[in-house]
Structure 1
Amino acid sequence: MSHRAPAMLARMVKSRATLPLLLACASVLAPAASAQQPTQPVQPAMQGQASQGAVVERGPARFTVLTPHLIRMEWAENGRFVDAPSQVFVNRAQPVPAYTVRTRSGVLEIQTDALTLTYRIGSGRFDKSNLRVRSRRLKPAFDWHPGDPESGNLGGTARTVDRYSGDRHIDSGEKLDLGQGLLSRAGWHVLDDSASFLFSSDPWPWAQKRACADCQDLYFFGYGHDYRRALSDYASVAGREPMPPRYAFGYWWSRYWNYSDREMRELVNDFERYRLPLDVMVVDMDWHRTDGLSWDERHVQRDVFGQSVGWTGYTWNRSLFPEPGKLLAWLHGKGLKTTLNLHPASGIPSDEETYPAFAKAMGITGGAPVPFEAADPRFVRNWFDITLDPLTRAGVDFWWLDWQQWADSKAMPGLSNTWWLNYVFYSHMQRTEAERAMIYHRWGGMGNHRYQIGFSGDSVISWPSLAYQPYFTATASNVLYGYWSHDIGGHFFAETTPVSERQIDPELYVRWMQFGAFSPILRTHSAKEAGLRKEPWRFSPDVFAVLRDTIDQRYRMAPYIYTAARQAYDSGVSIMRPLYYDWPEEAHAYQTTGEYMFGDDMLVAPVTAPMKDGVANVSIWLPPGRWYDTNRGELVSGGRTVERDYRLEEIPVFVRAGAVVPMYPESVRKLQKADDRNIVVRAYPGGEAERRMYADAGDSERYRDGQYAFTTITSRYDDRRAAITVRPREGRYVGMAPDRQITIELPSARFPSRVTVNGRPYDRTEQASQGGWHYAGDTLTASITIPAQAADTEINVVVDFADSSARIDGLLYRMKRVRTAVDWLKNQWEPPAPLPDDVSLAAELGQLIEYHPERLDQLMQAFDARVERLAATVSRSRATPEVKARFAALIASVNDGAVR
């Protein structure tokens, strides 16, 4: 829950603590580790000092060639340069790239494959008169001098969207500032690290001020339009984007509400009753006592620190949770992870259960509250040891931090308290927990990508808010902040919204949930209003069905999403990213802000405006290449803008032609318990591809040092044949299943004439079953279910298709639209007269195919002919002119793709 206060900063001091470092810093793919290796936390060391071979020093100037595209530039009058890791750059010990150094007429020249740097030796601080970096063979070319404005920066991210409707603050009207990211259309970016704090060399590295306030510490990124290279270089030197636990990619339930033990159990039971997957239970601030809390400014009470009373708390509200340990154990028994909200600004007041021990440890007497100071190592040690860790041992899996108070630390001004809390909580969890570290807090600035997951705050419930979030989330990948979690559905109604209109718009909520399913984290949340109820079962049956299918789809995509999370760790390219990463020379890639790539193969363009006449019409720019329209079941040529219409249950998702997407079966309900034992490989038509599917233990830090596995999958799928190969799994991790059961799915498939698996023929079955193949009429999908076998064996599936002249491309869309038209007509038809036979049969094509897929060609031809007659058939009926006209328009849309 947001306190709606401005951003805060805090200061850090050097620690005498003896806690080990567990910073999420750079790592490289290592050979697979033995599955017998113990699962103690991984403790990667920060390596601030660069390799000597990368360093060129000339008096008070030092240059470090970190990569061919990244050069560090330091100036220190006393020659005392910084080798300690900084807040942003924690791993400068990179392999030394090839470069040359020469000096001519007092000018130093350093040249890499990509850059040429020149500096006039002895000319003082870096400025435009003495320092220059030019591109070599990069496009666009550049010639940079200090102070040059960076035109075309593509943005980064912001701490919060509190009280924003879209990108505009509802109180001030100001536009949200996303700051500068690493990427620019100019082809270069300079990150000034001169003012950042450094990490000490203590076992638990603590922050310390730089000794030199006037020194310069600049990092020049020169990459042209090779944006992926810039992100990869940054990840190598600033630390990898850590993988969240697998369960984090499931559904999170969150609501600001004073749930009781009984109500929470009823809520979880309802999720089970309605067959809804769920992985994370978020408990907002009412888990602790909130005595004295008031929303009315006239009644707000302030404590001795000037903070609103009731926000900070660590003592369970036992009127709501009489036995919190038992509830947490029950939630764990239901397969749920639990997080609690923290607003720590008021320190440890005297009415907290842990106060006596805490005050004694801090040397405070007389009942005075213990002040909060995250930069004080003594406070932090006691905070965890006395107050927080006992809650963790009782069953709290991770913490939801919500720092929003004063700007600067009282101990060391200038360092973000948000940033430091992220580091402290993340690294503490790494050192103390066997499970994978995860926190949930706000963006604190550059370098904070090492500590996921982001809480974006209290957005206004509005269509503009939904429309802005795809751009906001994708753009954050420009600073590697790839795991934003939004209040799906919006948080609160603007105060200007009339009370009578403060009800959830089901259409807006569905569209927001659909975006959530194709975003990094799917978490619903809302303000403390009785009418803000987002439980899916509270909506009408048709809306509930869409919501459930959306959540199910999210769970089915989990192997694809988890693989993308590993790619983000390895490459610096987040799961959700702008189109210009792949198409940097296409103007539309920069202008199209409502679309994004979700992983390597999915282009998503969420519906962010209300429907008209039952559909939302969306203009979508398709990048060059061929794309499979998952809604229509057709291949589309890219490099152009297409117009598409979407009913409430439909999501604009286009998949690269020929792609293979690993998925889970529909039976998966908990991601923390899922593994790669049961996998569905969906191969899309129109080309060929090779992809790797990733797996690990799901909740261990050992993914950093080799405990993981990859499976390479290749596919070639055209009108005549589909050939899919699942190669032997490579790698090991604790708990890895020795065998697995693979199902191949081929959407928009013609009727198979022959199916073989490793040369053995498979027969068609009426229902999907192991050792056979099935054709689903409603989805036009051929599926081949292969019995479980050892994961180190190769599987080769070959499907030959019967020759056909019938039009299957786009048939899925035509089927759906005809069903929609017939359903509408049934509700307008006057009984007792039956619908004409052609009308009824046209809506039954999917079922007819299900019964007789071997007649697919004949059924498709008969369907197309029947659709041509439908409008005329109804026009000869006794229906009203209005009904005839509307039905004719619906049928016309079957072919032209837009409701008239």
Structure 2
Amino acid sequence: MKFCRLLLFFLLCSGMLNAQGYEKTSSGVKATVNGTDVEIQFYNPSTVRIMKAPTGWSYKKESLSVIEKPQAVELKVSQSGQAVWMRSQTMIVGLNLKSGEIMFTDAKGKDLLKEKGAPRFTDFNDAGVKTFSVYQAFQLDATEAIYGLGQLQNGKMSQRGITKRLVQGNVEDVVTFIQSVKGYGLFWDNYSPTVFADNAEGTSFNSEVGDLVDYYFMYGENADGVIAQMRALTGDVPMFPLWTYGFFQSKERYKSQDETVGVVRKYRELGVPLDGIIQDWQYWGSNYLWNAMEFLNEDFSNPKKMMSDIHGMNAKMVISIWSSFGPQTKQYRAMAPKNMLLDMGTWPQSGLSSWPPNREYPSGVKPYDAYHPEAREIYWDHLNKGLFSLGMDGWWMDSTEPDHLDYKPEDMDNQTYLGSFRKVRNAYPLMAVGGVYDHQRAVSSDKRVFILTRSAFAGQQRYGANTWTGDVQATWKDLARQVTAGLNFSLCAIPHWNSDIGGFFLGSYPRKLQDLGYHELYVRWLQFGTFNPMMRSHGADAPREIWQFGQKGERIYDAIEKYINLRYSLLPYIYSVSWDVTANRSSMMRALVMDFKDDRKTWDITDQYMFGQSLLVCPVVNSMYTKETGNGRNVVRTADYFEVKSRTVYLPKGTQWYDFWTNEKFSGGKTIERESPIDIIPLYVKAGSIIPMGPQVQYATEKAWDNLELRVYAGENGSFVLYEDEFDNYNYEKGAYTEIPMTWHNASRTLTIEARKGSYEGMLQTRKFTVRLQDGTTKTVDYDGQEVTVKF
């Protein structure tokens, strides 16, 4: 739609009546329309903030998510009839001075988004404070696909046509953010429970409480551009340690330090790679000592030795910490007199460890006020003294929603440092996780912060956190849902994500590991996890270590080992993609619409995605090899892997693709059938890709990357940047890292390994690269940091 047509739209909407006035500001305009004060404030040429409140209403809003300050933006402001227009270099914002509606276009006047109707402010008594419920609707194109809203378990890729109450929960992490296939994003900056709806009445956000309608519109032209704008607005992603991209083993729960150390020892004995062991809850003892952040359980009698043993085997340890405290903990006793605890039901519900919870003996556990700066200091002080001082490598921050059990409406009246719990409810994980990150950064730069957490909100990517999907069930349906959950979460600009490999609860498999059907599900989930930002096996009801599934030479065991080893071979690729996330605001898990927007078939594919910009991952999310007899709890499952089944795969158009396993070449824009025996996940490589493959190792830093294999997939031009640094400190922020750009020129069949950029202490001065084409041709070259050309 041309700009003149947009103007006509505004004139028709306003009924050709006289325009009201407006005030030009340094960053946009202010106006009062129909009893609503409207302010439009540009933060940069591509991001604008919209604020609306009842006329004369006084408010003070300090965003918890947004950290960017408004820049000086060159704007051209003009009025045409009923509309005032603000033009930046990249977009145009129009305000109808009669209706108050706002519309957004690109710099050429192409329609992006328009509001639908006036905002609504409904009086609300928020625990004695006068405020409003706030609502705004928007008009989307009928065929427009939108993504985001956080990590939902609805199995949908495009979020059109849904109505969803957005409130933090165990398996759903909500983010009040959407982005469109048209290349724009919208962040609704409100932290109270919010209903998102997309129906015949429009696309709307309706929050329980808020002093104003407050949202940010950003135009990035494509999904990467939108994510870049959201990161600019809410914070960039720090580098994660290399070891966090290795394999992690966990379960609910290792019950002694001998068991925990023994798991690491057995992985080493078997020669199966492992980087992380995770210790779950109750190392502190009873539920009355919940989250004491000390080893008070007598079965963990020598934690210093435990840490020494684990580190001595070149593994790292991550430990469970929570957002709540038992009444006998030091933290509880420090916070309670200062009203830093929330009076609401949470986990655990009983002071006894029996199941189901014996409610005659209430635990007294309460969440803490993570919004309170002094409470966050108390939290870190005990964490530092009790665990960080032992050399703990990372934090498993469980229940960062937090768990809200036995819900009562008056629970939301709990007063936090920032007002009622209702007002700030969805931002709880942002504050809890941010408190640990900020405090650890303040005391140490030698060890990068690593946090595994169960919940998230907008901006959490700036805190070194990887979010997982909570206590999902071990079912094929749940496995399929994790794919779309992770992709939509990533499209909210938060790139580090994972799920419990194998599912948390085994309720569908009463025979647990004796059920061969579960073996098939576990392998397929592990294959999917190989191509997640974190590869972590965890769950309840049965252990998940590799030896629980057989022994070497047996089909399931060998399949598990194969993918753990593949993960480690891909570490140079994965770590370089991680740098692209940090340096260039990219994403690791990429919905197909990110790279193939012009191919409409990719807009709503729910079971394929890109891992980095080279690998097309097609997880198997349906049972192929399990046969069932009986019914209910008497069902018996057997597995037959001899008759090989296939999975349907769509190869996006606009490029060529190689089968990762066979090197067979395919044209894009086709649907194919790929045989998928139990040890094969359909995996394709985009033509023009350069993928560095690392050495076989037992842990991530065991061997230097001094003789990498560079797999070059001919057919298109392509490039890659190999990134290296010291792997686990913040010296990269001071420039201590190297980049080695590589370029493949397809017409001349030439790979140019460019001059190394940057340096750091201990870096490789010389190395070899073995360049391998997909026809099997290889050439090995020496590299000393100067440009090398390899011609085929």
Residue in 2 aligned with 1:287?
A: 283
CA deviation map 1:161-207 (0-9, x unaligned): 6999xx999xxxx997977643124654433326689xxxxxxxxxx
Match among 639, 643, 647 for residue 618 of structure 1: 647
Say yes or no: does 1:214 pair with 2:192: no
1:728 maps to 755
Quick one: distance in 2 between partners of 1:616 and 1:654?
A: 18
Residues 816-868 of structure 1, C-alpha deviations (whole Å, 9 max, x = no match): xxxxxxxxxxxxxxxxxxxxxxxxxxxxxxxxxxxxxxxxxxxxxxxxxxxxx
State the SS of the aligned residue for 1:610: coil
Q: Distance in 2 between matches of 1:522 and 1:455?
A: 11
Q: Distance in 1 between matches of 2:670 and 2:155?
A: 36
Tell me: CA distance 1:315–1:712, structure 2 relative to 1, closer, same or farther (3 Å): closer
1:762-781 equivalence runs, <5 A: none
2:339 is aligned with 1:343: no
Taking structure 1 as reference, are residues 359 and 246 closer, same or farther at Cα in structure 2, changes over 3 Å only? Answer: same
Preserved contact between residue 313 and residue 343 of structure 1 (Cα < 8 Å): no
Using the TM superposition, give the Cα deviation of residue 510 of structure 1 relative to its aligned residue in structure 2, in angstroms: 1.6
3-state DSSP class of the match of 1:453? strand
Distance 1:196 1:180, change over 3 A: closer
With structure 2 as the length reference, what TM-score do the two structures score?
A: 0.75
Partner residue, 1:156: 148
Aligned equivalent of 1:450? 462
Whole-Å separation in 2 of the counterparts to 1:598 and 1:213: 38
Q: Would you say the 8 A contact 1:235–1:571 is kept in 2?
A: no
Q: CA deviation at 1:659?
A: 1.4
CA distance in structure 2 between the aligned counterparts of 1:516 and 1:428, rounded to whole angstroms: 30
| Corresponding position of 1:89 | 66
1:265 shift after superposition: 2.6
- Cα displacement (A) at 1:341: 0.7
Change (3 A) 1:137 1:104: closer
Q: List gaps (5 residues or longer) in structure 2.
A: 1-24, 118-136, 165-169, 194-208, 342-363, 405-410, 626-641
Does the alignment pair 1:69 with 2:46?
A: yes
Matched, 1:438 2:443: no
Per-residue CA deviations over 1:711-739 (Å, capped at 9, x if unaligned) read 11122468xx8532212210123442333
| Cα separation, 2, equivalents of 1:163 and 1:136 | 35
How far the C-alpha of 1:250 sits from its partner, in A, is 0.5
Does 2:128 correspond to 1:131?
A: no
Q: CA offsets, 1:5-51, max 9 Å, x none?
A: xxxxxxxxxxxxxxxxxxxxxxxxxxxxxxxxxxxxxxxxxxxxxxx
- Give the deviation of 1:472 after TM superposition: 1.7
2:299 aligns with 320
Aligned equivalent of 1:649: 679
Paired letter, 1:102: S
Q: Does 1:714 align with 2:743?
A: yes
Rounded Cα–Cα distance in structure 2 between residues aligned with 1:515 and 1:491: 15
CA offset at residue 694 of structure 1?
A: 1.7
| 1:153 CA displacement | 5.1
Taking only the aligned residue pairs, the percentage that are identical comes to 24
Contact 2:40 2:48 in 1 (8 A): yes
Residues in 1 aligned to 2:386 and 2:583: alpha-carbon distance in whole angstroms = 35
After TM superposition, give the deviation of residue 436 of structure 1 in Å: 1.6
CA change 1:725–1:80 in 2 (3 A) is farther
Q: Is contact 2:658-2:687 (8 Å) kept? A: yes
How far has the Cα of 1:672 moved from its partner? 4.5
Q: Aligned partners of 1:331 and 1:278: how far apart in 2?
A: 11
Q: Secondary structure at the match of 1:479?
A: coil
d(CA) in 1 for partners of 2:340, 2:511: 52
User: Which whole-Å deviations, capped at 9, do the CAs of 1:385-422 have from their partners, x for residues lacking one?
Assistant: 24543310112122111123347554232223222111
Which amino acid is the alignment partner of residue 109 of structure 1?
W
Q: Mark the CA change 1:595 to 1:359 in structure 2 (over 3 Å): closer, same or farther.
A: closer
CA deviation vs aligned residue, 1:130-186 (integer Å, no higher than 9, x gap): 53334444766554455224464533255676999xx999xxxx9979776431246
| Residue 599 (1) aligns with residue 575 (2) | no
**Structure 1: which amino acid aligns with 2:241?**
P
Report deviation, 1:594: 0.5
- SS in structure 2 opposite 1:182? strand
Specify the code of the residue in structure 1 equivalent to 2:608: E
Matches within 5 A, 1:451-600: 451=463, 452-494=465-507, 497=510, 505-527=518-540, 529-530=541-542, 534-535=546-547, 538-539=550-551, 541-600=554-613
Mapped pair 1:253 → 2:249:
yes
Choose which of 699, 712, 719 in structure 2 pairs with 1:670. 699
Could you say what secondary structure the match of 2:501 adopts? coil
Distance in 2 between residues matched to 1:546 and 1:664, nearest whole Å: 20
**2:346 counterpart residue number:** none
Aligned to 2:429: 418
Counterparts in 2 of 1:81 and 1:568: CA distance versus 1, 3 Å: farther
**1:491 is paired with a residue of what secondary structure?**
coil
Contact 1:619 1:641 in 2 (8 A): yes
Pairing 1:795–2:772 present: no
Q: CA deviation at 1:382?
A: 2.5
**Partner in structure 2 of residue 191 of structure 1:** 187
1:330 is matched with which residue?
309
Cα 1:743–1:603 change in 2 (3 A) is same
Q: SS state of the match for residue 713, structure 1?
A: strand
The answer (yes or no) to whether the contact 1:158–1:443 under 8 Å persists in 2 is no
1:639 alignment partner in structure 2? 669
The alpha-carbon distance between structure 1 residues 521 and 370, as it changes in their structure 2 partners (threshold 3 A), is: closer
Does the Cα contact within 8 Å between 1:677 and 1:737 map onto a contact in 2? yes
Q: What is the TM-score when the length of structure 1 is the normalising length?
A: 0.67
Q: Give how far 1:511 is off.
A: 1.5
* 8 Å Cα contact 1:188/1:222 also seen in 2: yes
Question: Do the aligned partners of 2:658 and 2:665 also contact (CA within 8 Å) in 1?
Answer: yes
Residues of 2 paired with 1:356 and 1:458: CA distance? Answer: 30
Structure with greater proportional strand content: 2
CA change 1:495–1:363 in 2 (3 A) is: closer
Instruction: Tell me: higher relative CO, structure 1 or 2? Use CA pairs within 8 A at least 6 residues apart.
Output: 1
Task: Give me the whole-angstrom Cα distance separating, in 1, the residues matched to 2:340 and 2:558.
Answer: 58
The answer to whether the aligner puts 1:659 opposite 2:689 as a matched pair is: yes
Residues 90 and 79 of structure 1, relative CA distance in 2, 3 Å threshold: farther
Work out whether residues 579 and 589 of structure 1, in 8 Å CA contact, stay in contact via their aligned partners in 2. yes
SS of 1:436's partner is coil
For 2:441, the aligned partner's letter is Q
Give the structure 2 partner of residue 268 of structure 1.
264
- Matched letter for residue 713 of structure 1: M
Superposition RMSD in Å: 3.7
Instruction: Answer yes or no: is the 8 Å Cα contact 1:455–1:486 preserved in 2.
Output: yes
Point out the structure with max Rg over C-alpha: 1
Moved more, 694-703 or 656-665: 694-703
* In structure 2, distance between residues paired with 1:64 and 1:362: 37
- Matched to 2:64, the amino acid is Q
Structure 1 residues 536, 632: CA separation in 2 closer, same or farther (over 3 Å shift)?
farther
Q: Which amino acid aligns with 2:212?
A: C
* 8 Å CA contact 1:675, 1:695 repeated in 2: no
Distance in 1 separating the partners of 2:424 and 2:688: 49
Q: Distance in 2 between matches of 1:111 and 1:250?
A: 47
